[in-house]
């Protein structure tokens, strides 16, 4: 269980509100490769 905004949530409760956990918690790596960002690395 997770405690968030003053309420305990079960996994099934959270999944009933969203279609896929990656919609809110997914992360993908990326690199800026254009313009000024190129010179920062």
Question: What's the number of domains the chain is made of?
Answer: 1
pLDDT band at 1 (very low <50, low <70, confident <90, very high): confident
pLDDT per residue as tens digits for the range 3-28: 888 999 898 888 898 888 888 887 88
Q: Which residues pair with 7 in a beta bridge?
A: 4
pLDDT per residue as tens digits for the range 27-41: 888 887 777 766 666
Q: Which residues pair with 9 in a beta bridge?
A: 2
What is the Cα–Cα distance from 14 to 20, expressed in whole angstroms? 10
- Domain of 15, in residue numbers: 2-40
Global pTM value: 0.43
């Amino acid at each position: 269980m997770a405690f968030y905004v003053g309420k305990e949530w079960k996994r099934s409760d959270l999944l009933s509100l969203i279609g896929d956990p990656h919609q809110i918690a997914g992360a993908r790596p990326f690199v800026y490769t254009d313009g000024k960002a190129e010179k920062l690395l």
